[in-house]
């Protein structure tokens, strides 16, 4: 388990923030007045349930259960646009749609692939801080079975519908957005947009097969 979480920390930086045990899987609907903490709470509640039922669920079942919650809690279109930076403006609308859909599917696939078992980890909320540009920071820790803690921070902002969504994740101060920006930009500059899209599609296939 320790090596599994180290891998997630270094490559995917997908994170937990609160302690919650719910005995049955559910599809709770968000409310218009959800706070940033509540958005994270809903996401992590579903993740923990999926982990606890990991041996009972197939990869596709985990994907289907996580998809609506990940899409509600993450501003995936904004994230991929920020990741691509100036490259985004050079793409066509068709390419915008293709990369956004593929990136979104990969984000969900990564959750479904990695969070498939539970080993007595617990998750603790630390605090919420106000950031510039009308953003907030929700801070948390993952307490692993051996007692070691990893610090996880969610950067969030309100979308056009006023719902709070994740726009970046930091693990022990390392920005997921910055890592992806460096990786994706290098691929586009070296091999072009099609190569990046193909790489993301291949990662989705690998997630589906590694279950």
Q: Where are the domains of the chain?
A: 2-209
CB 114 within 8 A of CB 102: no
Look at the pTM and tell me if it is higher than 0.85.
no
Residues 6+ apart with CB under 8 A from 155: 131, 135, 136, 137, 166, 167, 168, 169, 170
What pLDDT, on a 0 to 100 scale, did the predictor assign at position 30?
Answer: 47
Q: Pick one of 3.30.565.10, 3.10.450.710, 1.10.3720.10, 3.40.50.2000 as the CATH number of 2-209.
A: 3.10.450.710
The pLDDT profile of the chain, 211 residues, written as one tens digit per residue, is 444 444 344 433 433 333 333 333 444 444 456 899 999 989 888 888 888 887 889 999 999 999 999 999 999 999 999 999 999 999 999 999 999 999 999 999 998 998 888 777 777 899 999 999 999 999 988 788 888 988 889 999 998 788 999 999 998 999 999 999 999 999 999 999 999 999 999 999 999 987 6
């Amino acid at each position: 388990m320790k090596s599994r979480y180290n891998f997630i920390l270094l490559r995917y930086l997908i994170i937990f923030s609160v302690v919650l045990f719910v005995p049955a899987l559910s599809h709770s609907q968000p409310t218009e007045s959800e706070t940033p903490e509540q958005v994270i709470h809903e996401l992590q509640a579903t993740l923990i349930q999926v982990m606890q039922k990991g041996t009972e669920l197939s990869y596709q079942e985990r994907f289907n259960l996580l998809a609506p919650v990940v899409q509600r809690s993450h501003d995936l279109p904004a994230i991929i646009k920020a990741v691509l930076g100036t490259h985004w403006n050079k793409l066509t609308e068709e390419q915008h749609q293709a990369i956004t859909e593929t990136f979104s599917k990969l984000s969900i696939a990564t959750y479904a692939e990695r969070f498939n078992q539970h080993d007595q980890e617990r998750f603790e909320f630390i605090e919420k801080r106000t950031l510039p540009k009308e953003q907030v920071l929700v801070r948390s820790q993952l307490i692993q079975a051996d007692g070691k803690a990893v610090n996880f921070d969610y950067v969030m902002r309100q979308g056009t519908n006023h719902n709070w969504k994740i726009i970046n994740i930091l693990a022990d101060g390392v920005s997921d957005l910055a890592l992806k920006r460096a990786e994706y930009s290098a691929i586009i500059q070296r091999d072009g947009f099609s190569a990046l899209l193909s790489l993301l599609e291949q990662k989705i296939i690998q997630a589906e097969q590694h279950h």
